[in-house]
Amino acid sequence: MTQTVFLFGPLCDAEFAEVILHKRATGPRALLHDYRLGVVAPSIMPCLMPEPGASVDGMVVAVDAPALARLDTFFGLHSAERLGVVVEGAGTKVAALAYQVGRQPSDPVSTGWTEDQAQIMHLATAEIMGLADRAPIAALHARWPMALAHAASQVRARKRDDPAQLRKDWTRDDVELVHGAMPYAWYFAVAEDDLRFRQFDGAFSAVVKRAGLVMSDAVTVLPYDPVRDMVMVIEQFRFGPWLRGAGNAWLLEPIAGRVDPFESPQDCALREAQEEARITLRSDALMSVGHVYPSPGAITEFLYQFVALCDLPEGSDGVAGLENEAEDIRSHIVPFDRLMALIASGEVQNGPLVQSAYWLALNRDRLRADAVPQDGG
């Protein structure tokens, strides 16, 4: 038995609809009157919003019970529920199901996405719908934000120009994926691939099994006041050291955070500085320390590391963090020489903080000379 469903916005794209339904979706065009398209932040997925006099263009398709269940799952990620509607097409009216958001809508949005947004939504949706038949709905809801963030990381990785002056100029064609799986998925996920890779003699390796923690891109920021020669570091509880068995699981770190799906690493750096330390940074004051994989054998995380020039007046340290993320973060403003002493003593155990501090050590004199007026200047 089939059900008539009204699809709208990006779901009218055959490839995107196929990702959700696992089958091609085609049907006649139709109009739904007295509704518009809108989004509920931070999603960019358009959903139906009531508005007298407006109309939404879409199409009607016949779906079977499994496909309808998959639509329920997908729209449930966006807090949308089934709605009975009557649509008009080719001079006739047809009863159909659609999906409507119950929360307060945002401003109207375009039915289209940018090329990057479309790629992110396609990749994230493919990941989630690949899990939908075996993962509990709670896992899908927990995973969706990170699936988006991971998809955005993939889009950035594909755009990145990877130099190959010393290393061989390998490509993704030099790896053959035999079988891919995601045996665990919640906020973080574990990917397990059986694959072959090109060896230095030109031949492919035997099939090997590799597992890794699927994460997203992140930023680190070390604020530096070149006039006062002071840096800001933060202190917070970290689960990794606790899990390892460390006696003290509170680490000294740079400001850090995960890049949201539809923001740039630079915008993330500015946002995290506000959230974790309540300081305002300028994008033009961010200096790249290096973009790196901190542990490429085991995790997908890619770090955009910055030192940020700013003013760090006395009294600008304190406790901050987002309450809804259970963050309890204390900031410290210390002289640069004390930071280096803390590294030498072993009290600083955070890799990006060590790397950023050494970058600053190499560039500190130049930064101070540019910031402090010279005699007679």
DSSP per-residue string spanning 44-66: ---EEEEEEEEEEEEEEEEE-HH
Cα separation, 183 vs 166, in Å, equals 36
Cα separation, 232 vs 225, in Å, equals 9
Instruction: Give yes or no for residue 327 having a pLDDT over 50.
Output: yes
**Predicted pLDDT of residue 334:** 96
pLDDT confidence band for 104 (50 / 70 / 90) = low
Residue 267, CB-side half-sphere exposure with 13 Å CA sphere: 6
DSSP H helices in the chain = 14-21, 65-76, 115-131, 137-159, 239-244, 265-277, 336-345, 351-371
pLDDT confidence band for 78 (50 / 70 / 90) = confident
Q: Which SS3 state, helix, strand or coil, does residue 293 take?
A: coil
Residues pairing with 191 in the sheet: 212
pLDDT confidence band for 188 (50 / 70 / 90) = very high
Instruction: Give yes or no for residue 374 having a pLDDT over 70.
Output: no
**Per-residue CA distances from 209 to 129, 179, 223 (Å):** 24, 9, 41
Instruction: Give yes or no for residue 336 having a pLDDT over 50.
Output: yes
Instruction: Give yes or no for residue 107 having a pLDDT over 60.
Output: no
324: exposed, middle or buried (Cβ count in 10 Å: 0-12, 13-18, 19+): exposed
Which residue in the block uniquely carries the two structure tokens 């099994």?
209
Whole-model pTM: value is 0.88
Residue type, 152: A
pLDDT for 30-66, tens place per residue? 999 999 888 766 678 888 888 899 999 999 999 999 9
Beta carbons of 27 and 62 less than 8 angstroms apart = yes
**Per-residue CA distances from 288 to 126, 221, 305 (Å):** 33, 9, 6
Instruction: Give yes or no for residue 357 having a pLDDT over 80.
Output: yes
Which helix (H) or strand (E) segment holds residue 301: the answer is none
Nearest-CA neighbor of 4 among 53, 68, 60, 48? 60
Residue type, 174: D
pLDDT confidence band for 14 (50 / 70 / 90) = confident
pLDDT for 121-172, tens place per residue? 999 999 999 999 888 999 999 999 999 999 999 999 998 778 999 999 999 9
Q: What is the mean pLDDT of the chain?
A: 90
**Predicted pLDDT of residue 110:** 55
Residues 6 or more apart whose CB falls under 8 angstroms from that of 235 comprise 250, 251, 252, 253, 329, 330, 331, 332
Residues 6 or more apart whose CB falls under 8 angstroms from that of 144 comprise 77, 124, 128
Cα separation, 257 vs 271, in Å, equals 9
DSSP H helices in 233-350 = 239-244, 265-277, 336-345
From the CB of residue 197, how many other CB atoms can be counted at a distance below 10 Å?
A: 13
Cα separation, 15 vs 250, in Å, equals 47
**Predicted pLDDT of residue 272:** 93
**Predicted pLDDT of residue 101:** 76
**Predicted pLDDT of residue 376:** 43
Q: With the CA atoms of 15, 17, 18 and 20 taken in that order, what torsion angle do they form, in degrees rounded to the nearest 10?
A: 130
Cα separation, 159 vs 161, in Å, equals 6
